[in-house]
């Protein structure tokens, strides 16, 4: 992997990641952009003991532009985009409309491919491996920033999810705090360790493998399963079999197997609702240990993949119980979801 860093016209950082070392990245951003001055504010909710980011400047972010005005496509034919080069493998740059900025953290955009009409599921094994390298590299780099406590790599796909740019891309958030969801996981892990002397993540994975009914894919180094108490109609958790706290600590064997497993999983998501259905909207979220957590080595890196589509042509919206009380009601039994995801495996 070759890494080339540069600056955009407004001072934001952009980094090219190339699979081959002979790539030359010397294009200059010639757009007449003013320096970025956006700031976000973190406010604490004392009742829930949670932090909330206030970022009013995001109201003006780019919203569903036509394909020929996509800011994530390469700069070609006289049209200048966020990426000055006429082509690229994978690119990371600071978000122009960040939710977190300055002392409140950092937000980055990750473009998986220069092909506007592709998706992650269309990537080659080599390109998917490069993206994994990028996620790990950005996790290591953001860990060095004083304002960042936890790194969250994720992809939102589909208008139904709320995506405003159709180009295949994901994001990386460097939070200045430990997120509420991660804090709850760490508390559960600590309580389980005190009660049993064992690791909760290890026990969950072992139980799913022993039970088998909810396992979707089982490789040599990765296992994908629908959790026993899945919140979403189709929700899959992907774990490396050797527990590590974050992406930087995956070994070579797990790294090599990941692209095949993950691409197959995404392709199954696109097949679960049958022919003629549009691509399945989903969120793919990497859960990594916070950097300063005393028990970070008890945390297990894993990816959670889920869709808000509950059946053909129908979406699951968060109703009163989910939005108001955070109590989810799932219409699809996890065992049935796992069976369906096994049925649509490549033959």
Domains 2-175 and 180-343 fall in the same CATH topology: yes
List all residues 6 or more positions away from 228 whose beta carbon is below 8 Å from its beta carbon. 208, 214, 334
pLDDT number for residue 347:
64
Class of domain 180-343: alpha beta
Matching residue, tokens 């219409």: 331
Mean pLDDT of 207-226: 97
Tokens 């894993």 belong to residue: 302
Q: Could you tell me the pTM of the whole model?
A: 0.95
Mean pLDDT of 241-247: 98
Strand arrangement, sheet containing 234-240: 2-7, 13-18, 90-94, 106-111, 169-175, 150-157, 282-287, 302-307, 234-240, 222-225, 215-218
- Using one digit for the tens of pLDDT, what is the confidence trace for 48-81? 999 999 987 776 677 578 888 999 999 998 899 9
Cα separations in angstroms, 27 against 6, 30, 39, 59, 95:
9, 9, 28, 30, 19
The set of catalytic residues is 169
The confidence band for 35, taking pLDDT boundaries of 50, 70 and 90, is confident
Q: Please, which pLDDT band fits residue 6 given cuts at 50, 70 and 90?
A: very high
pLDDT digits (tens, 9 = 90+) for 331-347: 999 999 999 999 999 76
Mean pLDDT of 296-325: 94
The pLDDT of residue 65 is: 83
Tell me what the mean pLDDT of segment 211-215 comes to. 97
Residue 30's φ and ψ, nearest 5 degrees, are: -100, 10
pLDDT in tens, 159-181: 898 898 999 999 999 999 999 99
Q: Which residue has the higher pLDDT, 60 or 305?
A: 305
Domain 2-175 CATH superfamily? HIT-like (3.30.428.10)
Are 131 and 189 a contacting pair, CB within 8 Å? no
- pLDDT score of 63: 59
pLDDT 10s digits, 109-143: 999 999 999 999 999 999 999 999 999 999 999 99
pLDDT for position 162: 86
Which sequence spans correspond to the domains of the chain? Answer: 2-175, 180-343
């Amino acid at each position: 992997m070759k890494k080339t860093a540069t600056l955009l016209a407004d001072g934001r950082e952009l980094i090219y990641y190339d699979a081959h070392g002979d790539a030359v990245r010397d294009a200059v951003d010639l757009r007449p952009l003013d320096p970025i001055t956006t700031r976000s504010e973190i406010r604490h909710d004392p009742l829930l003991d949670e932090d909330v980011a206030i970022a009013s400047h995001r109201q003006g972010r780019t919203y569903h532009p036509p394909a020929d005005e996509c800011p994530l496509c390469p700069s070609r034919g006289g049209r200048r985009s966020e990426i000055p080069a006429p082509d690229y493998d994978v690119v990371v740059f600071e978000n122009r409309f960040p939710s977190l900025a300055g002392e409140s953290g950092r937000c980055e955009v990750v473009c998986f491919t220069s092909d506007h009409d592709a998706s992650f599921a269309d990537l080659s094994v080599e390109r998917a491996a490069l993206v994994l390298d990028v996620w790990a590299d950005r996790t290591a780099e953001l860990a060095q920033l004083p304002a960042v406590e936890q790194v969250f790599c994720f992809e939102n796909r589909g208008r139904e999810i709320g995506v405003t740019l159709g180009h295949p891309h994901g994001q990386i958030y460097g939070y200045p705090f430990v997120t509420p969801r991660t804090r709850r996981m760490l508390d559960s892990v600590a309580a389980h360790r005190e009660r049993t002397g064992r690791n909760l993540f290890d026990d969950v994975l072992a139980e799913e493998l022993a039970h088998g009914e909810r396992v979707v894919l089982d490789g040599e180094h990765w296992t994908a399963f629908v959790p026993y108490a899945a919140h979403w109609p189709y929700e899959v958790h992907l774990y490396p079999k050797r527990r590590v706290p974050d992406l930087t600590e995956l070994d070579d064997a797990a790294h090599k197997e990941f692209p095949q497993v993950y691409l197959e999983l995404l392709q199954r998501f696109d097949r679960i609702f049958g022919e003629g259905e549009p691509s399945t909207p989903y969120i793919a979220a990497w859960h990594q240990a916070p950097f300063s957590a005393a028990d970070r080595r008890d945390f297990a890196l894993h990816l959670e993949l889920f869709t808000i589509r509950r059946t053909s042509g129908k979406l699951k919206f968060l109703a009163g119980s989910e939005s108001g009380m955070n109590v989810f009601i799932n219409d699809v039994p996890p065992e049935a979801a796992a069976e369906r995801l096994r049925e649509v495996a490549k033959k």
